[in-house]
Amino acid sequence: MDITSAGPLLCGGMTVFKPLLMHHVTATSRVGVIGIGGLGHMAIKLLRAMGAEVTAFSSNASKTESIKAMGADRVVNSRDRQALAPHGKFHTVGAVMKPFEVPAFSLILGDRAVTGSSTCSPGQLRKLMRLASRADVAPQVEEFPMSKINEALDHVRAGKANYGVVLKADF
């Protein structure tokens, strides 16, 4: 595995891998991924490598084919509001700074759960890197030389980054 692929796995990859371990995802699991950006696209690739059935929820219809090419079995418009399935689990990751409301009664009646996690332990990181290496899982990234860091940041801020940006040392 090259360093350009390994680097993003050490942050975003760990962030999405830990919930897959926590919820005992296997080849018979059905998992939905909401938001197919830097974290979401890595989740899809890891889930595909684990053999799970993947539904991607995206608000961008133009990404449908690329999301399916990553390994999603189906792509659903995330702007269509639907309730979490009975016995479903909603797991949030990343830097979510805004609170969100969850009606407790709907959790109770449907045996639903809302959970969250941080990144992996060293042992979990080893499992992630082993899986990524064996299954050839690599994040989709665009490379910028370190000398163009401001251009790279502008690219990200403008929403033009295609899933992720990696800075390469050029000094």
- Average pLDDT estimate for 62-78: 91
Other C-beta atoms closer than 10 Å to the C-beta of 149 total 12
Q: What is the CATH number of the domain that holds 27?
A: 3.40.50.720
Interior angle at CA 84, CA 83 and CA 87, nearest 5: 140
Q: How confident is the model at residue 83 (pLDDT cuts 50, 70, 90)?
A: very low
Tell whether the model's pLDDT for residue 147 goes beyond 90: yes
Does 117 lie in the same domain as 65? Answer: yes
Entry pTM: 0.85
Contacts of 34 (CB under 8 A, 6+ apart): 40, 57, 78
Per-residue pLDDT tens digits for 35-47: 898 999 999 999 9
Residues 133 and 105 in one domain: yes
Residue 59: give the domain boundaries.
3-139
Count of structural domains within the chain:
2
